[in-house]
Structure 1
Amino acid sequence: MTIFFAILFSVSTLVFAAGLAMKIAQYARTPAPLKIPTTPAPLTKGGVALRLGREALLFESLFRGNKPLWLFAFVFHLGLAVVLIRHARYFETQVGPLVALVQPLAQPAGLAMVAGLALLLVRRLVVERVRYVTGPSDILMLVLLLGIGVSGMLMKCVVHTDIVAVKAFFTGLMGFELRPLPADPLLGLHLLLVCLLMIIFPFSKLLHAPGLFFSPTRNQTDNPREVRHLAPWAARLEEKG
């Protein structure tokens, strides 16, 4: 089990990092020939940065468009953020101040994450107009995330595992040292689902977070009258002409 997960985590981390870098490079190369910011839009670059920050942290446009969906998504993402920060302790030799700060929120955050995911899944299955545009991959992504959240909460609240040994395994793996991983079936399931998520994440719809910053509807200033918008490739053609 130790050797299997050491190899699996190494491969999944490599796929995750390479896939993420590849997709971000693809986003950066995609031309944006038109000036198409969603109005009302900021007139300055500072306003654009502020807008992107509100969108990334508060889901501003979703709040305006669908408040129940915003609530489900915000609860899930907030819980997920706390859970991810807390999980950093398994890769640190000494617990950092941010991890220590969120430590008391671990159980509420895990419950919020699972509850948000469950509500999003129910919405996909119950609301007819949403169910009509829902594909199998949409359901599978939510089920995968739910599996990770539920298995993690079970280890936190019901079937406890040896977290000291788990931390030793991951800190050792970072230093290319193999340390034994607890032979816990629930832990094995949790780690297996996490590795699966890491492998498919860069190639799935879950990659909307970095994509937001490359969206021309969000990252452009609303100044088409004052400044002519010219894509780099169009500028090169104009210079040649």
Structure 2
Amino acid sequence: MQYGRVTQPATLPSRSDPPDAIRDWLAGAHESPGQARREWARCGLALLPLGSRFDAVRIPGDLVHAAVGSGAALEGPVIHDVRTLGATYWALVPHQDDWTGGPDTPLLSHGTYLGVPDLTVVGPPGSFWVTPPRHRHHLCRTEDVLALLACGRRELGQEHVNNAETLRALAQELPPLDTLSDDHLRGRTCVWCDTRLTAETAYLDFGQLTEPRRWFARACRPCTDVRTDPARTALEARK
């Protein structure tokens, strides 16, 4: 796949580090920073592992557009991508173990990779920076991302989802480990079906589970949608 390149360097906001210093910081997320730089030079996009220098929150385009239309904004690096189901945004945030943003806006971390454009890629086609990082360690504040999600949901009239409650309910519906393949256990396929998943297409990410042993559970949107309401009802009944 070819990704868009901008022939002239993107203009970074004031008080920024030199672009090469920011590239070095981003590339440092990769075990081989030189590979990231080669990927940027070759196609304008590098696959970087999440969980070390930053995590990423996946936000559906309609949620972002609704929030921005009401005046909300993020001060930090955001990547735009276009998927078969519409626009998707990725807000880069500090690594964290707890995320309360809702299953429709998962936090992706250890075990996943994100396509990160070169700093000069600020327009389509393909992935591009809506807002590039201004300096090393420049990330969106988690509380600002949560505020934007809440604003977008209010504008769209969506009910706020208690992520912890939803994940706890759906966790009760996870299949026994001895019925799962290696791809299921590594999060490569939906835990409830055989749909292949990537960091971009996994709708729900349970993160790293440790019982009865270390494994990763992820799910596609159709399976999540079918199970969410019954799982929450069953959880309420058990209280």
> TM exceeds 0.5?
no
TM-score range, shorter chain: under 0.3
Structure 1 or 2: more strand by fraction: 2
**Structure with more contact order per residue of length (Cα contacts < 8 Å, sep ≥ 6):** 1
Q: TM-score, normalised by structure 1?
A: 0.26
| Bigger helix fraction | 1
